Amino acid sequence: MELPELLDRCRQGNSLAWEELVRRYQGRVFGLALHYARDVEEARDLAQEVFVRVFQRLGSFRPDEPFLPWLLRVARNLCIDQIRRTASRPPGSDIPADEALNLRAAGQSPEEAWEAGSRQQLVHRALRQVGEAHREILLLKEIQGLKLEEIAALLDLPLGTVKSRSSRARVELAETILRLAPEAGVAS
């Protein structure tokens, strides 16, 4: 079912449509929450809260608006609220790649899955060391795939700022990865 029709049915109170919407976007919301939360359980709770809030605000969602940026905006705002509430936030723990980052890539052999998981874990660790502003850009653009214009609207920043910050963020992430694991820069 196409997304506009699914959303329409959700707004009409169709619980089956709502279930489909949750199942369709749970991975995206959980994936975003993982980068804000301190651990996997907190991320799961955060993602659950996001969907509860989305459920409450579906009525105010405009049909002509793209859904994913709206969803990610709700998720990001709630995650930031949560971080502010837990003011003394300890540095995030490394999330076990084989357990928490249960990647959806199908058809991988166990070795490939393990290797991919290790790389993801390295990227995750590096992301936690990147500056906050760059990290948000990376989360929203490179991971979640939002457009620059959508990120500019979401973060309330000029488009040019987002664009330049996006390039610098990539470089900072790559340099951080090289600092954490110098062997990552060696061609296989």
Question: Where does this chain bind another protein (CB under 8 A)?
Answer: 15, 18-19, 22-23, 26-28, 30-31, 34, 43-44, 47-48, 51-52, 55, 100-105, 116, 119-120, 123-124, 138, 142-145, 166-168, 170-171, 173-175, 177-178, 182, 184-188
Minimal distance, residue 85 CB to another protein, in Å: 19
HSE, CB side, 13 Å, CA atoms: give it for residue 16: 2
Instruction: Name which of 75 and 88 has its Cβ closer to another protein.
Output: 75
Minimal distance, residue 128 CB to another protein, in Å: 13
Tokens of 162: 């987002």
Minimal distance, residue 63 CB to another protein, in Å: 20
Minimal distance, residue 171 CB to another protein, in Å: 4
Distances (CA, A) of 69 to 66, 126, 144: 6, 25, 9
Residues 6+ apart with CB under 8 A from 187: none
Instruction: Name which of 9 and 64 has its Cβ closer to another protein.
Output: 9
CB count in 10 Å sphere of residue 6: 18
Instruction: Name which of 73 and 170 has its Cβ closer to another protein.
Output: 170
Secondary structure element (H or E) that encloses residue 175, with its range: helix 159-180
Distance (Å, whole) CA 128 – CA 89:
13
